[in-house]
Amino acid sequence: MSKAHRGKGIRDLPHYGRGTCARCETKNIKALYEVEIDGKKVNVCKKCNAALNNAKKATVATETAKESAE
């Protein structure tokens, strides 16, 4: 596993991968995670990526629960 989001992996990126997060709009944060929001590909920070993944998981879990209940 390479460290794609820290260390050498981000050395070549402009500003070491720092920018504005598209979700929480924090400035000068490492927005290295490409996600799709409303059909648009945007870069978000680590926290937002985790939050989005958790939301996705929760949705899947709810759907699975619904299916098994039927």
Binding site for Zn ion (CB under 5 A): 21, 23-24, 44-45, 48
Kindly tell me which of 28 and 62 has the beta carbon lying closer to Zn ion: 28
Q: Smallest distance, Å, CB 42 to Zn ion? A: 10
Kindly tell me which of 21 and 32 has the beta carbon lying closer to Zn ion: 21
Kindly tell me which of 57 and 65 has the beta carbon lying closer to Zn ion: 57
Interacting residues of 2 by C-beta distance below 8 A, sequence separation 6+:
9
DSSP 61: H
**Whole-number Cα distances in Å, 17 to 8, 29, 65, 70:** 11, 8, 39, 46
